[in-house]
A = this chain, B = another copy of it.
C-alpha cells in the first residue's frame, strides 16, 4: 500500500518540475476532461489526498479554494504543508487498519460505509487517474509527459 503512495509522490514531484517550463497561461488554460486545467489537477490531487486522510481519522476537513493557489509555487507550498500529516499516516499504516470503518455522509443525508483500505486505494487510484489526464494534455501542448512507470524508480522491497 505505502509503495503506491511513494510512487505517486515521486511522480507528482516530477510533474511540478515539468510545470516550471510552462507559462501561467498554459498552466491555467481550461482543458477538456478532468477538473479543467493542469494546475487545478495538481491542486485537486493534493486536496483530495489530504482531505480523505483527515476524514477517515474523524478530523476536520476544510475546503481550500483554488483561486488562492493559482501558481505552481503556491500549490507546492500547500502540498508541503499537507504532506507531513499525510506521510505520517501513510508510513504508519498497518494491515489491522484495513477494515476500519468510515461512515461517509452523503448529500441526501444517508451514509455509505467505506473501509479505510478502500479509502486508501481510492486515493491511490484517484491520483494515477488524474495524472493520466495530464499526460494527454502534455502531448496537446507538444511536450513529453512524465513517465508513469513504476519500475525503475527504486520502489522495490529488497
Contacts and interface: CB of A to CB of B under 8 A. Distances in A.
Interface string A45-84: 0000000000000000000000000000000000000000
A92 interface: no
A117 B128 CA distance: 18
A3 B125 CA distance: 11
A119 B3 contact: no
Given A3-B121, A122-B149, A122-B150, A99 B129 contact: no
A128 B4 CA distance: 12
A135 B3 contact: no
B133 A121 contact: no
A99 B132 CA distance: 28
A126 interface: yes
